[in-house]
């Protein structure tokens, strides 16, 4: 079972945003998409979520042709936490989280006690139990991020798409969130595809990395093979140095600050 795409292209009008994208992401894989601003990460995630229809090429999720599937069919398998937080809901956080169960409810059916129990469990897993009764519109940006993450997880997706998930989160919550997501990959075999701006977070948590530059994949593969000084310096168009910190996962810093 996998999420795969072949020769995928996406155009915004005349702008060729994704160019001949090919990859395959297996179950239980934590995949990080890295690239500079405007390299195409969000566009690729939106194609994988069915929000954008590829201009050409194929996108297949566990045998389902995503270019032809309905929004509901996709929502039963894929959940996404977007980068922009424009959504406002005049509800408490628990009700926002339980909305993640909607693709599994019949028309006009209300969420059950079991759905609410799932929502509470996911909030607790993210260390955000206390947010449940709070008004979603009156919590902080980081708290909203956790609530939207909980809503995506309660969907119990086979594929979880995250657009810069650690934005707005404090130092502890960044690690907590990525550790929880990593555990989800292992325990529930969830496939995770996430854009990330910090290559060190990707080095720490990802199993697989995809490097995108000007809409093209320039390298992809197992994290330790791909995360090299050469690849990352080329990707970010700045000289980076690898610093060994006594674990099998090094960190990368700009050469200018390591001199």
Ligand X SMILES: Nc1ncnc2c1ncn2[C@@H]1O[C@H](COP(=O)(O)OP(=O)(O)OP(=O)(O)O)[C@@H](O)[C@H]1O
Residues that bind ligand X (CB under 6 A): 12, 15, 17, 35, 37-43
In the complex, minimum distance from the CB of residue 39 to ligand X, in angstroms, rounded to a whole number:
4
Q: In the complex, what is the shortest distance from the CB of residue 121 to ligand X, in angstroms, rounded to a whole number?
A: 31
CB closer to ligand X, 91 vs 236: 236
Output 35 or 100, the one with its CB closest to ligand X: 35
- N-term to C-term CA, the chain: 46
Residue identified by tokens 């995928």 is 8
**Which residues contact residue 207 at a Cβ distance below 8 angstroms, ignoring those fewer than 6 apart?**
29, 30, 31, 185, 222, 223
Q: How far is the CB of 104 from ligand X (least distance, A)?
A: 30
Cβ closest to ligand X, residue 48 vs residue 240: 48
Rounded least distance, CB 190 to ligand X, Å: 22
Residue 35 or 199: the one with the smaller Cβ distance to ligand X is 35
Q: Which is nearer to ligand X, 35 or 250 (CB)?
A: 35
Closer by beta carbon to ligand X, 38 or else 222: 38
Q: Considering beta carbons, is residue 115 or 163 the nearer one to ligand X?
A: 163
Asked if 3 and 61 touch (Cβ cutoff 8 Å), the reply is yes
As a whole number of angstroms, the distance between CA 138 and CA 168 comes to: 15
Q: What are the backbone angles phi and psi of residue 229, rounded to the nearest 5°?
A: -55, -45
Query: How far is it, in rounded angstroms, from Cα 154 to Cα 108?
Result: 19
Closest-CA residue to 39 (of 202, 201, 218): 218
**Cβ 46 to ligand X, closest distance in Å?**
8
> Residue 137 CB, nearest distance to ligand X (Å)?
24
| Shortest distance (Å) from residue 132 CB to ligand X | 30
């Amino acid at each position: 079972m996998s999420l795969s795409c072949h020769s995928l292209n996406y155009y915004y009008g005349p702008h060729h945003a994704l160019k001949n994208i090919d990859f395959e992401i297996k179950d239980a894989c934590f995949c990080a998409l890295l690239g500079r601003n405007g390299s195409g990460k969000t566009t690729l995630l939106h194609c994988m979520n069915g929000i954008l229809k590829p201009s050409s090429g194929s996108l297949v999720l566990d045998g389902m042709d995503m270019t032809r599937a309905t929004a509901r069919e996709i929502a039963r398998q894929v959940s996404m936490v977007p980068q922009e937080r424009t959504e406002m809901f005049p509800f408490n956080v628990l009700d926002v989280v339980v909305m993640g169960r909607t693709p599994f409810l019949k028309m006009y059916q209300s969420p059950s006690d079991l759905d609410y129990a799932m929502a509470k469990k996911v909030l607790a897993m993210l260390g955000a139990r206390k947010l449940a009764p709070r008004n979603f519109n009156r919590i902080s940006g980081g708290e909203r991020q956790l609530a939207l993450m909980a809503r995506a997880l309660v969907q119990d997706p086979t594929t979880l798409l995250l657009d810069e998930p650690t934005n707005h989160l404090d130092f502890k919550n960044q690690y907590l969130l990525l550790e929880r997501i990593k555990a989800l990959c292992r325990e529930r075999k969830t496939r995770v595809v996430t854009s990330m701006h910090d290559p060190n977070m990707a080095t720490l948590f990802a199993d697989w990395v995809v490097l995108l530059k000007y809409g093209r994949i320039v390298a992809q593969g197992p994290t330790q093979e791909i995360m090299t000084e050469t690849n990352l310096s080329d990707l970010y168009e700045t000289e980076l140095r690898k610093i060994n910190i006594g674990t099998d996962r090094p960190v990368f810093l700009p050469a200018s600050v390591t001199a």
